[in-house]
Structure 1
């Protein structure tokens, strides 16, 4: 890993100094064989056997009783080209109260737009469904490179609208809250869709009331404008970071396709309006995507958007899947829930 304390890495360079509690996990992570970049089937299986299995093991511990929620997979039509179908996994708390409704949370999984599915976060979402008494729709969008930009973005947008249009059937009520969120690539998709919704008359009277961006990628490395270069140092600093090195970031963007400066690829560059919903950001210090998320938070705050930012120094992208019991990982879980509560409570001033 690159040195983390010199001024060449900007005002946030100190955030990449390795967390001593995470240090014991570095050798294990670095000992894993590199993921395939030529065999997509193999890469997806590696993801399922690795990160997805780790997630299910971690969150199985707090899994609520099956009698506390209902789960169902829906298949919905999405436009193209090419048109197709995607899966939306729905979770709703059980209640003895006839006609009870819940706020709606639409979630997008991670995986670099190339791997992953609704199983990745399934056990955690079951917990949140019951704990916060909210309806959750988890969208399994079509993956790149078979389906490049703007298909993943369009699929997720269709997932939001489908959930809202079917809220009566789903025991949801967007008047109680309509918020979106995602981790990894899902965080990127969340930022893109929140921006799209600002200009979409469809959302009049039913606006998105919050967004949760967990370790999101917000700017293609080839699209960084001159004015931002001095602020975006983490891609260089964390070029050889564990879990998500810079080489992998570039490969994922290559699979996603689209113009690097497009709002669908680099939402950081899209003009921000004050109408964006209250935003929670969770950012890792050893992540190549660190500085663009920090810059985005400043842009939002300047525009008057209510924003909560949580930073985890010295740990890499997705660290909590590998080290769920260290202090930073426990803080990640706590602050995620605090962010959800903040949005559900109407995002009071912080």
Structure 2
């Protein structure tokens, strides 16, 4: 284990409560709401860290918008850099937050995304997709894909140039959604004129173990190896998936199972060395590379899933932040 993380973790408490709340949650109970409250507490160090480093308010604008989805509405938060040139346009990243498909909201990455927007001069559309168990699979995915289409359709009014870059990004469950959206968009005539140009993927889930093809099973060891965590355990992950309740072999939850990955957008993928989902990320990078998709990866040894949300000041967490920015720069450079 990374010694700096181990020291920080040994001085911290509260993660057992998060796990207990999620692990005990079931449809129709208030324990899901307890889990959401605990999850907000768990990411608060990251929220505070990036809030303290926000760029001046004059350098960007933020506006929440309601968009129509499947007889309902969801909220998206649009972050746009400011410019003295009123005709200036920006590339865009559509972002999906993490939280096991059952927790999380726009605020957990809000300050981080504002800083990213200004530094890289990129518009960001942060999507508040609906959560399980109240909205089981594929509601959250459908919401997210609708937001992706909405972004493409609103490009001119948002001062977006899709030709400069049209990236999908996400963390954990949000990374799963981002990978699936990238694959769906590849095959959708709607996106033929404005394809996705990059995937920014952090600690993704890409395959249910029970649905893993035989040829990859020997490479999916981390789920057993790090089943007891810390921060994320196999049991908690399984409970989150149970509340989402998708068919395990559906490529829209297990994107490793798409028949072909050729033609997918280039991907920047990060993962953690002591994460049950470590090998998901490795496999996603492998299948994309085998399909001649450009891929870059970064691994953070000795740390568990989501460590940078709760311990944002340790060295590896700051490296994740910097690598994320450099990875996005790489994706944007390849979009032209």
TM-score bracket for the superposition, by shorter chain length? over 0.9
1:114 to 82, 92, 102: 102
For the residue of structure 2 that corresponds to 1:24, the secondary structure is: helix
Unaligned runs of 5+ in 2: 26-30
Q: Does 1:71 align with 2:54?
A: no
State the match for 1:242 in structure 2: 230
Q: Does 1:227 align with 2:218?
A: no
| Counterpart-to-counterpart distance in 1, 2:15 and 2:261 | 43
2:262 to 274, 279, 300: 274
1:185-237 per-position Cα deviation (integer Å, ceiling 9, x unaligned): 10000011111111100001100000011001111122123222111000000
Q: How far is 1:27 from its partner?
A: 2.7
For the residue of structure 2 that corresponds to 1:107, the secondary structure is: strand
User: Relative to structure 1, is the Cα distance of residues 320 and 64 closer, same or farther in structure 2, using a 3 angstrom cutoff?
Assistant: same
Q: Does 1:46 align with 2:34?
A: no
| Counterpart-to-counterpart distance in 2, 1:62 and 1:144 | 32
Q: How far is 1:324 from its partner?
A: 2.2
Q: How far is 1:31 from its partner?
A: 5.6
For the residue of structure 2 that corresponds to 1:88, the secondary structure is: strand
State the match for 1:85 in structure 2: 73
For the residue of structure 2 that corresponds to 1:22, the secondary structure is: helix
User: Relative to structure 1, is the Cα distance of residues 31 and 63 closer, same or farther in structure 2, using a 3 angstrom cutoff?
Assistant: closer
Decide whether the 8 Å contact of 1:278 with 1:347 is kept in 2. Answer: no
RMSD, aligned CA: 1.4
| Counterpart-to-counterpart distance in 1, 2:239 and 2:206 | 15
Q: How far is 1:347 from its partner?
A: 6.4
| Counterpart-to-counterpart distance in 2, 1:136 and 1:325 | 24
Q: How far is 1:332 from its partner?
A: 1.0
Q: Does 1:189 align with 2:177?
A: yes
Decide whether the 8 Å contact of 2:261 with 2:287 is kept in 1. Answer: no
State the match for 2:192 in structure 1: 204
Q: Does 1:132 align with 2:96?
A: no
Unaligned runs of 5+ in 1: 1-17
State the match for 2:243 in structure 1: 255
Q: How far is 1:121 from its partner?
A: 0.2
Decide whether the 8 Å contact of 1:26 with 1:242 is kept in 2. Answer: no
State the match for 1:317 in structure 2: 305
Q: How does 1:262-341 map to 2 (within 5 A)?
A: 262-341=250-329
| Counterpart-to-counterpart distance in 1, 2:277 and 2:16 | 23
1:218 to 179, 197, 206: 206
State the match for 1:33 in structure 2: 16
Q: How far is 1:25 from its partner?
A: 2.7
Decide whether the 8 Å contact of 1:22 with 1:315 is kept in 2. Answer: yes
Decide whether the 8 Å contact of 2:15 with 2:231 is kept in 1. Answer: no
For the residue of structure 2 that corresponds to 1:213, the secondary structure is: strand
TM-score (norm 1): 0.90
Decide whether the 8 Å contact of 1:306 with 1:347 is kept in 2. Answer: no
| Counterpart-to-counterpart distance in 2, 1:285 and 1:85 | 38
Q: Does 1:153 align with 2:141?
A: yes
User: Relative to structure 1, is the Cα distance of residues 201 and 118 closer, same or farther in structure 2, using a 3 angstrom cutoff?
Assistant: same
Q: How far is 1:257 from its partner?
A: 1.1
Decide whether the 8 Å contact of 2:77 with 2:127 is kept in 1. Answer: yes
